[in-house]
Structures are given as structure tokens and as C-alpha cells.
Amino acid sequence: MNKCMSLHEVKAVFRDGMTIMCGGFLGVGSPEGLVRELMSNGAKNLTLISNDSAFPDSGIGQLIANKRVTRLIASHIGTNPETGRQMIAKELEVILVPQGTLAERIRCGGAGLGGVLTETGVGTLVEEGKIKLTANSIKYLVELPLRADIALIKAKRADRAGNLVYEKAGRNFNPLMALAADLVIVEVDELVDCGEIDPETVITPGVVIDKIVVSGGY
């Protein structure tokens, strides 16, 4: 099966109202080319799941600045003043999730788990509306899985089967999101033939990757 597609072809997959996960931490490890295609496609009323909302002029921050997102699930929005402004003006619904809880909720979504128990957020606003339970005399919150229609992720290198290797701190949420969406598209710097990546070094196995796009074209 040929998983490779051009950046131009990616545009056709986006629809209004979709839930989209996007890898990256303050733009590092973010699939810039895929986000550009989503920007130019014009899809709106999006629910976006990402660690943060980056900066107003880069990465997924542009989607916020262009009012394409109606609901954002993230751990941190402080680097994009536009996100805070839209939230306070009630133009954008922002659901803030502790970063480790966000990672685990996405992991659960991709791993077939019904949720996790965590102490994080107990005694804070984060516990509002959540199931709480006590086990082994410790109070926990029940945090439920997150999934998306599409995950947009970034890796350094893929082989044609979709096996992925990441680069430094660019890994972050990408390997978790790779399992947690109905359609998973990876943008890579480099595409190689099968056999060229040592199987011992593969971080994300190719079976979870649906489409591969090479940065800057292909």
C-alpha cells in the first residue's frame, strides 16, 4: 500500500467541525507543512487538541489567530496572547488540561484504555465535574481518553511503511497522537526505503501511520 501523498493532496481531508490533534511543543516537533494545508483549506469550527497554542504567527497558533478553532484542549496558552484574548472574550472555548494528564488521556485514546487515575489536579479547578475515587487511601481523578478524527504529527524520518524516528525534543506528543486518531498523517523531513531504518531504533511502528508527506513537497 502506498502511504505517500503530496502536501497538495492533504488539503482534501479536512472538513468543518473536525477534531484534530497536532503534535509539537511550542512549535518544536510541529508539522508546519500540514498545518499550512489546513490553514489554506479553510476548514473551520475545529476542535484542536495540542500541548499549547504556540505563537500567533507560527504553527497551530495561526489557526487560532484566524478564528478557525472553536474549542481548544491544551495545557498551556501563555505564549499566544490571541488565545487568551479569545478565551476571555468567549470567542473560543479553552479546556486546560495538566500536561501529564493530557499526555495520558491521548495515550489512553490510542491504547484502548478507558482512562487513568491520577492525583494531578486533586484539590484544584481541574477536578470539577470529574469522577473522583479513593484507592489505597489516595484520592484520584478519573481522566478519560481523548481521540481525534485526524492526527497531524511530525517526525524526522519515515520509511515507506511509516516507521518513524523523531528528532530530539521534537518527539513530545507525536508518538502518542500517532495512535489516537482515525486518520494519522505524518510530515517528515526525509523518506527512505523499507530496511533503511534499523528496526531497533523505530519509535512509532508504521502500522499506525496512514499517510506520509515529505516537508516541502514530494
Q: Where do contacts with other proteins occur on this chain (CB under 8 A)? A: 25-29, 51-52, 74-79, 84, 87-88, 94, 96, 98-104, 107, 118-126, 156, 166-176, 203
Closest contact distance (angstroms) between CB of 106 and other proteins is: 8
Cα-only R_g, the chain: 17
Closest CB to other proteins among 5 and 144?
144
Report CA 70 to chain centroid distance, whole Å.
16
Closest contact distance (angstroms) between CB of 183 and other proteins is: 20
In the chain, the amino acid numbered 61 is: G
CA distance 149 to 181: 5
Closest CB to other proteins among 2 and 137?
137
Closest contact distance (angstroms) between CB of 12 and other proteins is: 29
Q: Whose grid coordinates read 501523498?
A: 5
CA distance 10 to 184: 11
Report CA 77 to chain centroid distance, whole Å.
15
Closest CB to other proteins among 11 and 100?
100
Contact 75, 99 (CB under 8 A): yes
Closest contact distance (angstroms) between CB of 11 and other proteins is: 25
Closest CB to other proteins among 85 and 160?
85
